[in-house]
Chain A
Amino acid sequence: MTTHALFSLPRWWSVVLKEFLQLKRDRITFAMIAVLPIVQLALFGYAINTNPKQLPTAVILGEQSPFSRSFVAAMKNSDYFNIVETLPDETAGRRALAQGQVLFVLNVPADFSRRLLRGEHPSLLLEADATDPTATGSAVAALPGLVQPVVEKDLTGPLAHLNGAPAAFDVQVHSLYNPEAITQYNVVPGLMGVILTMTMVMMTGLAITRERERGTMENLLATPVLPIEVMTGKIVPYVAIGLIQVTIILAAAYFVFHVPFEGSLIAIYLAALLFIAATLTVGITLSSLAQSQLQAMQLTMFYFLPSLLLSGFMFPFAGMPVWARFIGNLLPLTYFNRLIRGILLKGNGWIDLWPSVWPMAVFMVVMMGIALRFYRRTLD
């Protein structure tokens, strides 16, 4: 088409109204909105667990000494820890934890060697992000076993007298965010994204194919309504539905599972809104690609499974192989899981949230572009 028509707000609004009316009469969909979150919460809320390795860890080296090097090496050898960076101070350590770049920060105090040699039994501090207790639990459990080999290797000769009981030094583990290691604290917020992905993608996935199957698409195409008006207009009612689901899940999280609400509720809703929008564009894209409602459903599952398995909801993200993390990083659910857990459990502020916000926004814009590209303006 060389004749370009401009986006018309009244036309767009007419599509929005139509979708609301149709939704109002679709009782099964309506039931799904309320029942699905509850059923899934009951199922997954109590069901998930595992034991990951190679978890990203940062170290803060207050001193460079054979002991600290040996201990870091021992951590690496244990296979539970993957030392990804060395940080200058405590503040940087907290930030890395809050943004989810690392799950552990090992802090070697400046006077560690000196105190060790004096026989004062000093401590190393390991700060752990315990939002996902399954991710960190095994690694933490492995720590005490790492002390003894270091002691045996380095405290020899004249220092051998330090090598006795009690151990020459120990490691204090400081669990942040979810100190009691309650799995539900991690799973329940994660479920929000899973439930939203499932309902949003499925419902919008059907939206355009339904018009095509019922023959009403031909009618829409014959009117002046523009593709962007149809697509975004169809999305709006589902945004409202998504927010209702968010509210149901938040209420359940708070009243049933007693998940702490550390961060701001506004941040939660804004993050959810962005995620809902990004997810809806996926649905609408699948809908313009699919020829029939059945195909749309199949495509939905094709999208839903990787989201479920690779986003860090089911299995700890840090424990996955590189290729799986790469795929996970392409999915908005991965970022939403970080956002929602960050806000609820860590009380993350806007700066900490940003690294997970922009990828979702980029994802949404790209998806919308694809959807518009594949929306058939003609019946060809």
Chain B
Amino acid sequence: MNPSATEYAIDVQKLNKHFGDKHVVNDVSLQVAHGEIFGFLGPNGSGKTTSIRLMCGLLTPDSGTGTCLGYDIIRESAQIKRNVGYMTQRFSYWDDLTIRENLDFIARLYDMPNRRETVDHALESLGLASRADQLTGALSGGWKQRLALAACMLHKPKLLLLDEPTAGVDPTARRDFWEELHRLAAQGISVLVSTHYMDEAERCHKLAYIAYGKLIAQGTAKEVIDSQDLTTWAIHGDRLSELSEQLRTMPGVDQTVVFGSALHASGKDHAALEKAVQQAAAGKDLRIEPIDTGLEDVFIYMMSRSSDNYGMPS
């Protein structure tokens, strides 16, 4: 199949994967369009990494079908590997090779035609040209992450699968990283990126939220927020934790979360929530206001609503 003929860079239906009696990926279907940055969110152990591995042919699904760049994820994993850049969650380059040797090895594995120039160019754009002969193991987390991105980009893949690429990376490096991702997306490269950071989620064109192996919501940030139909009130003042405990027991309050100086109370029943918040705040030195429900409110809500089905017969 010709990749350009397909509408989506990734198009998978009803993927399932079990490890023993754990149903790690449960009926996951998603589509990533060309040139789209698709954010993959969910708590630890929710099946993000496994889903990504299923999509690039590193794992075989128990059931389900799909294509990645138009190639069948089960039968054509060799072609997928050639055209996809996969950045593993854990740094997976060789610590006992130098930066140049690592890049050179990867370039050779992909049979790159003008290997030397490609590697030199990658080193320069990384800003690592002067440290090319340093052992990779001596690099800091941020540099390792940049090297990993450069290495998985080396063979000019049309699709990037990035598994928590910014975990443990400082804010500046994270910002640079996302700017780079947007530049790549503008060139037509599709990106599937898993993350825990809300600010990163907001930078994605589309999002999917996965918990306990199930895809709970997907779409743009707005669509995801709207899908849960929550109303949220913010309460500013002192002793918010205490108030949070109190609110949680009241009718109409589905969730309370403390964000620094503000307490967010969210609920599906708009009228009941408003009543509860006003009742709780009555006679106290608190400022209350209705606010737009944020992504984080929604994610916490979805997470608490999804049941843990690990270890259950499925």
Contacts and interface: CB of A to CB of B under 8 A. Distances in A.
B91 A215 contact: yes
Contacts of A380: 59-60
A219 B81 contact: no
Contacts of B101: 18, 21
Interface residues of B, number: 32
Interface string A22-43: 1001100000000000000000
A22 B94 contact: yes
Given A3-B75, A224-B81, A379-B58, A11 B92 contact: no
A218 interface: yes
Contacts of A217: 92
A47 interface: no
Contact of B82 (A10, A215, A224, A379): A224
Contacts of A18: 94, 97, 101, 105
A222 B59 contact: no
Given A17-B108, A18-B97, A22-B97, A215 B92 contact: yes
A91 interface: no
B109 interface: yes
Contacts of A214: 92, 94-95
A123 to B, nearest CB: 68
Nearest to A219: B92
A198 B86 CA distance: 37
A225 interface: yes
A25 B78 contact: no
B94 A14 contact: no
B92 A10 contact: no
B106 interface: yes
Q: Which among A10, A11, A219 has the highest number of chain B CB atoms within 10 Å?
A: A219
- The interface residues of chain B, by DSSP majority, are classed as loop
A224 B92 contact: no
B58 A218 contact: yes
B92 A26 contact: no
B180 interface: no
B94 A216 contact: yes
A2 B78 CA distance: 9
Interface string A1-22: 1111100101101100110011
B183 interface: no
Contact of B58 (A14, A21, A26, A221): A221
Nearest to B108: A14
A21 B97 contact: yes
A221 B93 CA distance: 12
Contacts of B106: 223
B60 A378 contact: yes
Contact of B90 (A3, A26, A215, A224): A215
Contacts of A221: 58
B87 to A, nearest CB: 9
B151 to A, nearest CB: 8
B35 interface: no
A224 B90 CA distance: 20
B79 A225 contact: no
Interface in A149-184: none
Interface string A206-231: 00000000111111011111000000
Contacts of B88: 215, 218-219, 222
A164 B250 CA distance: 122
Given A10-B108, A18-B101, A222-B56, A25 B96 contact: yes
A219 B93 contact: yes
A2 B90 CA distance: 29
A8 B105 CA distance: 14
Interface in A349-363: none
Given A3-B79, A22-B97, A215-B92, A11 B59 contact: no
A20 to B, nearest CB: 10
B246 to A, nearest CB: 47
Nearest to A5: B78
A216 B57 CA distance: 16
Contact of A378 (B59, B76, B79): B59
Interface string A267-300: 0000000000000000000000000000000000
Given A3-B76, A10-B111, A378-B59, A222 B81 contact: yes
B197 interface: no
B120 to A, nearest CB: 17
Contacts of B84: 222
B232 interface: no
B53 interface: yes
A51 B255 CA distance: 84
A18 B60 CA distance: 28
B310 interface: no
Interface string B56-69: 11111000000000
24 contacts: A1-B75, A3-B76, A3-B78, A5-B78, A8-B111, A10-B108, A14-B108, A18-B97, A22-B97, A25-B96, A214-B95, A215-B91, A216-B92, A218-B58, A219-B86, A219-B88, A222-B58, A222-B86, A223-B81, A223-B106, A223-B110, A224-B110, A378-B58, A379-B59
Interface of A: 1-5, 8, 10-11, 13-14, 17-18, 21-22, 25-26, 214-219, 221-225, 378-380
Interface of B: 53, 56-60, 75-79, 81-82, 84, 86, 88, 90-97, 101, 105-106, 108-111, 135
Q: Which 10 A-B pairs have the closest CB atoms?
A: A14-B108, A219-B92, A222-B86, A3-B78, A215-B90, A223-B109, A215-B92, A25-B96, A2-B75, A18-B105
